[in-house]
Structure 1
Amino acid sequence: MQPAYVTATAQCLPGRPIANDEMADYIGRLSPEAERFGRLTLRQNGIRHRHYAIRPNGTSDWTVAKLAGNAVRALIDDAGLDKSRIGFLATATTQNDMLVPGLASGVHAESGLPPMELASLQSVCASSMMALKSAALQVAAGEHRAAIAVGAEFSSRYFRPGHYLGTDTMQADGTLPGDAEFLRWTLSDGAAGLLIEDHPAPRGLSLRIDWISLRSFADRFQPCMTGGAARGADGALLPWSLHDSAGEAARAGAFQLRQDVEALHRMLPVWMGEFMRLVDEGRIDPGATDWFLCHYSAHSLREEMVTLATRAGCMIPEDRWFANIYDKGNVGAAAIFLMIDDLMRSGRLRGGQKIVCAVPESGQCIMAYAGMTVMEDGQ
């Protein structure tokens, strides 16, 4: 297997940054009580700004495929690469625009790329790492000389009042269950992509992909972050397609995004255990790691992760952490690619530096890590 390199990065964030006091103008107002819960959530997640692909009146010119397509076009322009050299496209998202076809087909159509091989990866945040590993392996195996991995999200469209009013989940005081309300004030929109080639860029920075590790622990956990199902009287999740009608599924709240925060916290030790496994295997050396790019949905979760890592004696010093969630929001499957793009453009990278990326996913407990080495001027 030959090495694979990230040779270019790009992103697409729709509209201007939206401050906390403007959020309700975009996702809509349910009740004063709901907005009070939102302010509490914002204190926990620490996010100050985010981007929305939706207008305050609920309309939009965007789709998740268009967001990803814009990121791909920006990526190609930035790299100055002949489109015909790109043979593989892997896409990642939490929720596609349509049930069928896959997102990769829509992004291919939006990107202007020629006929090519595709892969549509759908999970939650870790789908980005699935796409990256898929693209990197295609290049490393010699199947294609150049590939693109892109992650995109359009979460705000699911947070408008129309998705909640008239459903069984709306409570008398105009609030939602906490597992639904939390995500309204946490998730946002955008896309980012990486170009992976079989050689480093002749000028500027590249990232050699040294390894990628992704493990599911769905054998130990029930679904934590869900969309497309509702719990019945017995507490079991019933997929929307097994309700008597789409209307009944909607009334039951099956199309609402939910996250069981208590279950999320039970996953933290498992995610940390994966980190320690990689330290034991010699893949991660905390002391030799120059940059740690960790995706997390809230600052409070970061604090818990720091506590666990410190107790375990494998803490990467916080001055080596790189984060952009506070000003760009939690963009799910696009988050780690946004971080990589921002770090590549920060002017802070030097040849030989070691980068560790970490993407925990609460969907049904996935933990993904990647190790990269910074290369300069075709090194």
Structure 2
Amino acid sequence: MFDVYITKAAKYLPNEAVSNDEMEDYLGLINDTASKARRIILRNNKITNRYYAVDKNGKSTHSNAELTRNAVAQLFDENFTDQDLEVLSCGTSSPDVLAPSHAAMVHGLLKNRSVELNSSMGICCSGMNALKYGFLSIKSGNSKNAICTGSEKVSTWLSSPKYNHEIVNLKNLEEQPIIAFKKDFLRWMLSDGAGAFLLENKPSGEISLKIEWMEAYSYAFELETCMYAGGDKLENGEIKAWSDYKPEQWLNESVFAVKQDVKILDEFILPKGVESMSDAMAKHNITADQIDYFLPHVSSNFFVEGLRKGLIEKGVDIAEEKWFMNLLRVGNVGSASIYIALEELMYSGKLKKGDRILLSVPESGRFSFAYAYLTVC
């Protein structure tokens, strides 16, 4: 088995940062009315800036594949060119098209040479799953290098025109023309961007991060769906797929809108996160004092204190100064968030040889969690 190192990291955040007061300038008003939930949600998540790959007219400035390509391109230089790449592994929850795969669309923009492709679909853990594919490919000796990515382009999914048919339908039915909170909630949580890592079988440059291990857990066997798109949730908790709806229902009921069951999110995201992280650390005999930097991806600052308390109760007391997050400055970029956070830490000047880093990524889709433990070398 071969050692695996993150030798370079890059991010791409489109256009200018968007403040809280500007969000509806980009996403638009639903039913020409400002959202009543927006300020409450923003007060809880505490995000102050985020990035959108659209302009104020709602016109796209970048596709998801272009965001990813722009991050990947920064990893190439005279020492590692696009002709050296062997594996491209891309994760996202918001691909531009259902098919071909997201990785294939990114590769089509790179125009370098034939490489092995992997596409990881899901929600936030898709970026970590893409990373694990590259990690295992190099570790097994299948390849000498890989580029792994996480990226999101959700702004167009959240734009007001996507909900207009539902509003008109509600008016026709003489019902209140207000979209459900499960749909409005995520409009103020998610944003666009991409991150990329270069993985190699030996360290390179001034700083490299050795991937010691990666672990992943799913609780879908016992918990129902929480975050979803392309379907709707029935009273019994099952998901009815978009293909089982009539075409007119896709618009009238905003079937493709991203939705979240906030009730079960609050009930399970922290307990299962604490349980899985404790299990991962125990499996590899890692204690809190063997973590110099803890990078938890959280969708909202609302969960930070609860996560800290839950970990302490489990005997995992990570000092507050070891927590490294950039959620408030760059927003919740889903599968790209952990890439963007680690890129910032990697080039912050704070790291020294021997430092140990724990990455933690939860996914509320049906409650999955992924972890990686790194050593600075």
TM over 0.5: yes
Q: Which residue of 1 aligns with 2:340?
A: 338
Q: Which residue of 2 aligns with 1:131?
A: 130
Q: Which residue of 1 aligns with 2:289?
A: 287
Bigger mean CA offset, 290-299 vs 162-171: 162-171
Amino acid at match of 2:262: V
Runs of 4 or more, structure 1, over 4 Å off, are 31-34, 168-174, 232-235
Q: Which residue of 1 aligns with 2:200?
A: 197
Q: Which residue of 1 aligns with 2:354?
A: 352
Alignment partners' CA distance in 2, 1:350 and 1:49: 29
Q: Answer whether contact 2:42 2:188 (CA < 8 A) is retained.
A: yes
Q: Which residue of 1 aligns with 2:94?
A: 95
How far the C-alpha of 1:21 sits from its partner, in A, is 0.7
* Structural mapping, 1:1-379, within 5 Å: 1-30=1-30, 34-77=34-77, 80-167=79-166, 174-201=177-204, 203-232=205-234, 236-245=238-247, 247-267=248-268, 268-375=270-377
Q: Answer whether contact 1:34 1:174 (CA < 8 A) is retained.
A: no
Amino acid at match of 2:191: S
Taking structure 1 as the reference length, the TM-score comes to: 0.94
Alignment partners' CA distance in 2, 1:33 and 1:348: 45
Residues 231 and 269 (structure 1), Cα distance of their counterparts in 2 relative to 1, 3 Å cut: closer
SS of structure 2 residue aligned to 1:39:
helix
Alignment partners' CA distance in 1, 2:307 and 2:89: 30
How far the C-alpha of 1:33 sits from its partner, in A, is 6.5
- Structure 2 residue runs of 5 or longer lacking an equivalent are none
Q: Answer whether contact 1:34 1:176 (CA < 8 A) is retained.
A: no
How far the C-alpha of 1:265 sits from its partner, in A, is 2.0
Residues 127 and 170 (structure 1), Cα distance of their counterparts in 2 relative to 1, 3 Å cut: farther
**What percentage of residue pairs aligned between the two structures are identical?**
33
Q: Answer whether contact 1:34 1:181 (CA < 8 A) is retained.
A: no
Amino acid at match of 2:307: M
Alignment partners' CA distance in 1, 2:267 and 2:319: 24
Q: Deviations over 1:340-372 (max 9, x none)?
A: 101011110000000000000000110111100
Q: Deviations over 1:230-255 (max 9, x none)?
A: 2357664211111132x322222211
SS of structure 2 residue aligned to 1:152:
strand
CA RMSD of aligned residues (A): 1.7
How far the C-alpha of 1:32 sits from its partner, in A, is 7.9
Q: Deviations over 1:199-251 (max 9, x none)?
A: 001x3110000000011111011111000002357664211111132x32222
Taking structure 2 as the reference length, the TM-score comes to: 0.95
Amino acid at match of 2:266: H
Alignment partners' CA distance in 1, 2:213 and 2:8: 18
Q: Answer whether contact 2:93 2:152 (CA < 8 A) is retained.
A: yes
Alignment partners' CA distance in 2, 1:249 and 1:166: 9
SS of structure 2 residue aligned to 1:205:
coil
Residues 15 and 80 (structure 1), Cα distance of their counterparts in 2 relative to 1, 3 Å cut: farther
SS of structure 1 residue aligned to 2:165:
coil
Amino acid at match of 1:259: Q
Alignment partners' CA distance in 2, 1:283 and 1:113: 42
Alignment partners' CA distance in 1, 2:146 and 2:224: 34
SS of structure 2 residue aligned to 1:156:
coil
Amino acid at match of 1:110: L
Alignment partners' CA distance in 1, 2:13 and 2:85: 24
Alignment partners' CA distance in 2, 1:219 and 1:351: 41
Q: Answer whether contact 1:46 1:299 (CA < 8 A) is retained.
A: yes
Q: Answer whether contact 1:355 1:373 (CA < 8 A) is retained.
A: yes
- Structure 1 residue runs of 5 or longer lacking an equivalent are none
How far the C-alpha of 1:282 sits from its partner, in A, is 3.6
Alignment partners' CA distance in 2, 1:249 and 1:10: 37
How many residues matched?
A: 372
Q: Answer whether contact 2:359 2:372 (CA < 8 A) is retained.
A: yes
